[in-house]
Amino acid sequence: MSWIRRFETKEYREGRCGDRHQWLDNNDLRPIPAEDRTYTWRTYFWFWLSANATPASFYGATTALAAGLSLWEGIACQLGGQFLIAVILCLNGRAGAVYHIPYPAIVRASFGVWGGYWPVINRVVMTLVWTGVNAVQGGQCTYVMLHAVFPSIARIPDVFPANASALNSGGLVGFTVFWVATTCFLHIKIPKLKWYIYVKLVFFVMSCIGMLAWTVREAGGIGPVARQGSTVHGTKKSWIIAQYIWIYCANCATYASNAADFMRYSRKPNHSSWPQLIGFPLSTLLVGLVGNIVGSTSQIIFGNLIWNPITLLDAMLTRDYSPRTRAGAFFIALGFTYSSVFSSIFENSIPAGNDLAALWPRFITIRRGFYIAAVISYAMCPWYILGTASSFVSWLASYQIFLSAITGVMLCQYYIISLGHFVVPDLYTTNPSGLYWYSNGWNYRAYVAYVLGIAPNFYGFLGVFGVHVTTGAQREYYFAYPIGLIVSFMVYWGMCVLDPPKCMVKLEEWKEPRDYTAPEDKSMEADDSSLETDKEQGDLADVAVDIVTA
């Protein structure tokens, strides 16, 4: 019907997809064309350096302080955890950097062309919820900015029941403005967004310096919390340190699972590796350092600790509504708002767009996925989720046990089973001769590994919701992320050895191409880093023959 065709993606509407499957394939899920691989090592370094450039990262180490560690020990735990996840992120994103394909396509190599739907649904639920949750935080920044200009916004009658919402009526105005601003930037193509990364970092740094200088001056120093030592010792302290290192690692499990969504835009595969190993932990150190000093000063300024920099900024504005304070609060909040807009786009919108495009490629592109995610994130009323659904927020924080099991299977597939070699066209076909068809499009080995990777952590997972669990189970759950990843990795490897799939490479030599270019991409014919050289084409042809005949 003609009205249905209006909603199809451009390539389907123009009849250029006669050989493609509507549930598996569109241009956004294919390898990125060479001309759109615009992210260099500088882009990735600044990208990951700015990954933690959000107000929420200011108080990341405060939970460790509440457990009895000193401020500096909390920051060290956070730094260690972020470095560990950066290593996993580099390893799991390698396939995206080499083949320039997204997470939904890569996961089909291990779970099957149809079995890959479940890991994608896992991710899309998370990205939709976090899009809304992060928009609430961005709305709080916007509210302070508006409060500095319009004092009457603080006097709008609150329409929400007591303790039911994370926002009041004025905060909802800020949320709406933030949501509209973020949505307006979604039309920009991802390869062109890299310039906004640089601007974001500049804005955030200026806001951090301004906030730090202002609060230290008001307090007359860095405050007592920054100087206090640890209140726990011995074995108890050792367990707390181990717990928080892995908590801070697991907090970024979503990054590690869908790392390919960011790394597929790299000009060369290695451009996206070492910059994030340095930039991601470094940003944690710098932002955490500034954030904790700012929070410590609140003890002197207000007599109680206010770790959230937005809450602190609004409190300073409310205390002294002078022109100078209003101007300072406005520009600091503006920098935080701008940073939050592009953090939301890179951390939530891009993964959501990729995942939604994979659910029905005939009708959903990445850009359409952006807008669908934006609408759903508003419709779910995330201010109520943060305000009342404490168990749901706990579930979000504990979702690591599911993502770690997926990540372990993906790592094993790429580094052990495939030895770095994907037959890319077979990721998009339902032909039974395809390498990733397995059993009617499902790879039971991956699902066995996935379930067994979750199983050791599930008892401790129940403890998050108030179920009584033993001390041993609680401590075992501290290591939930590495346990899930390692168990799923090893089980999947063992299953493939016992029942080798057709895609298992029985060669000792690493067969990853230097940089994959799709046969239809003619823009790199003169670039010897692509697969256009006779030698590389011959090498890959030999590998494909060896795989099929194995």
pLDDT band at 507 (very low <50, low <70, confident <90, very high): low
Tokens 């199809």 -> residue: 8
DSSP 134-157: HHHHHHHHHHHHHHHH-GGGGGSP
Residue 527 is predicted with a pLDDT of: 34
Measure the CA–CA gap between 392 and 381, rounded to whole angstroms: 14
Tokens 């920044």 — which residue? 141
d(CA 318, CA 70): 31
pLDDT in tens, 105-164: 999 999 999 999 999 998 888 888 888 888 998 999 999 999 999 999 999 998 888 777
Q: Provide mean pLDDT across the span 400-408.
A: 91
- To which CATH superfamily is domain 3-389 assigned? Hydantoin permease (1.10.4160.10)
**Confidence check: pLDDT of 334 > 90:** yes
Residue 543 pLDDT level (bands cut at 50, 70, 90): very low
Residue 304's pLDDT band, with cuts at 50, 70 and 90, is confident
User: What is the reported pLDDT for 399?
Assistant: 77
Listed residue (228, 208, 213, 246) closest to 333, CA to CA: 208
pLDDT given at position 252: 82
| Sequence ranges of the domains in the chain | 3-389, 518-549
Name the one residue in this structure whose structure tokens are 């940089």.
515
Q: At residue 381, does pLDDT exceed 70?
A: yes
The pLDDT of residue 363 is 87
Query: In 3D, which of 113, 15, 101, 111 has the Cα closest to residue 428?
Result: 113
**What pLDDT score does 258 carry?**
84
Torsions phi, psi of 249, nearest 5? -65, -50
The neighbour count for residue 242, using CB atoms within 10 Å, is 14
Closest C-alpha to 137, from 168, 180, 186, 171: 171
Instruction: Confirm whether pTM is higher than 0.75.
Output: yes
